[in-house]
Amino acid sequence: MCGRYANTCGTEELNARFDVGWVETAPPHYNIAPGQQVAIVREGERAGDGAEAKRELAFVRWGLIPSWAKDPAIGHRLINARAETLGEKPAFRNAWRRHHCLIPATAFYEWQGAAGHKQPWCVAMADNSPFGMAGLWERWRDPAGEVLETCTIITTDANALLSPIHDRMPLIIAPENYAAWLNSANPHAEKLVQPYPPERMRAWRVSMRVNTASHDDPACMDDVEDGT
């Protein structure tokens, strides 16, 4: 699964990597946890008759709430979606067909080992560049008519770098495939579901500091010898 990640992208980085035009400056986050507001990139409204939709940056809650849900607490259990069953699970079926997104990140965390002493690892691109995790987003309306937008991160089998640490990893979309992924009607989107090349990534041990969601600073990503 993917239960924590970092997004330290500045405005210029977001513009250059995801082609979303001007975006509001947001502070860097080093330890993003479920339930928090996160940035996603998605197709915006179409400009007119058949005009191509422009990308937009939106801020939504991490933990997908299906449009049909009665209780928003279901979002706590839907922070990740397995790529293999997106079209089968009722919770994700509509979003898989209609609402693809990218979730900008600069790193994500995984935990290795048995319960009681799991070692946290930080994983990033080998060149430290920002990347887009595949996601789905959804719109939910409460009984009072208020609209809440939420998202989930799609996971796939771990690649050779991650498999000694965890058996799952976020589905990472290569920049040249962003347009293909964001087009929810693309019949070939399933072909993009595959582990990211391990040679383009790196991983290092970090301290138990990242276990506490209130810790949100560069120290969460510091390389440590023994993870203590």
Catalytic amino acids? 2, 110
For residue 86 the two structure tokens come to 């997106």
Residue type, 30: Y
First to last CA, the chain: 22
Distances in whole angstroms, Cα of residue 87 to Cα of each of 19, 92, 153, 189, 190: 28, 7, 15, 12, 10
Give the distance from CA 226 to its chain's centroid.
Answer: 27
Q: What is the rounded radius of gyration, in angstroms, for the C-alpha atoms of the chain?
A: 17
SS3 call for 203: strand
Residue type, 121: W
For residue 166 the two structure tokens come to 């965890």
- Cα gap 207→135, rounded to integer Å: 27
For residue 7 the two structure tokens come to 């997004």
SS3 call for 34: coil
